[in-house]
Chain A
Amino acid sequence: MVYYMYDLFMNQLKLGYAAALGLLLAVAIGLLSYVNYRFFREGGFESYT
């Protein structure tokens, strides 16, 4: 995915399209981090131990 973004940006000069892909990736990573944060804040595995 990141290599495709790089190719779009540097070789195909589709800067806007590459930015859109990057934004989607950032949102996906943000969601993943948020789920992890909420899970740990609410006890998560600590409550197990």
Chain B
Amino acid sequence: MGQASKVARLSWLSAYGFLLPALLLLLVFTVFPLILGSVLSLFQYNVVSPPQFVGLNNFKEIMTDPVAHIAFRNSLVYLLVVPVLQLFSILLALVVNQETKGMHFFRMLFYVPVITSIIVVALAWKWLLAEQGLFNGILMSLHWIHEPIHWLTDPSIALYSVMLVTFWKGLGYYMVIYLAGLQVIDPQYEEAAKLDGANWLHVFRHITLPLLKPSIAFCTLISCIAAVKVFAEIYVMTEGGGHFCRPRPWFITCTICS
């Protein structure tokens, strides 16, 4: 075996050695559940009785299930948070990108919601948006409303209230990504544009925004994925709204067994 092929073999081994732990985790926690879920989707199974093969009947049922349609529509509505979140994150990144005294503190401050547990955030917002909560208290003390708004119990606004929490929590995260994108833009472009008479808006429209496009594409994608699979906020704040007020057999079974 030649020296070159020995080095190549060692390099190959070390590369896969480093990749192995991540690949194993991916296999156990993503690939295996996906395969198991795919198989399970072809069965009717309720834990108590043995699984019964039903083929594609579960998928056919989804097509005619009105609650699934509502859930799908709500997921699409939830995607409305994505453009708003991206817009405000870019604006916030532009603000905190200024070299002003104390700006590092604000960068840290806007990132605090990101590192806070989603359960804590959702509980805090649940209290803020409660009928006797801070929001209604302020609005009523200003005489803007006479009766408390049912932020989390009115089906027409509950979804938007939860979207507000997603927006608030995600703002700092996307801000940091956009800030990184802004800081790699060569300041010479801006200087050249200003020498040519460009104002702030021209610089933003023709230099900053085009150079931020890769970051915008990335953030939009991960934000869309996060919006579609949102769970914790809805679970903690609304418990799914009115559609899910039914007995919980699993909970009852556990309570009886324990």
Instruction: Give A residues with C-beta under 8 Å from B.
Output: 1-4, 6-7, 10-17, 19-26, 28-29, 32-33, 36, 39-40, 44-46, 48-49
Contacts and interface: CB of A to CB of B under 8 A. Distances in A.
> Could you say which interface size class chain B belongs to?
35 or more
Query: Main SS of the interface on chain B?
Result: helix
Contacts of B42: 16
Contacts of A32: 221, 224-225
Query: Main SS of the interface on chain A?
Result: helix
Contact of A13 (B54, B59, B72, B249): B249
Interface of B: 34, 37-38, 40-48, 51, 54, 58-59, 61-62, 67-68, 71-72, 74-75, 210-211, 213-214, 217-218, 221, 224-225, 228-231, 234-235, 240, 243-244, 246-251
Contact of A1 (B54, B75, B246): B75
A25 to B, nearest CB: 7
A48 to B, nearest CB: 6
Looking at A11, A16, A28, the one whose CB has the most chain B CB atoms below 10 A away is A16
B45 A25 contact: no
Contact of A36 (B48, B217, B248): B217
B41 A29 contact: no
A19 B214 contact: no
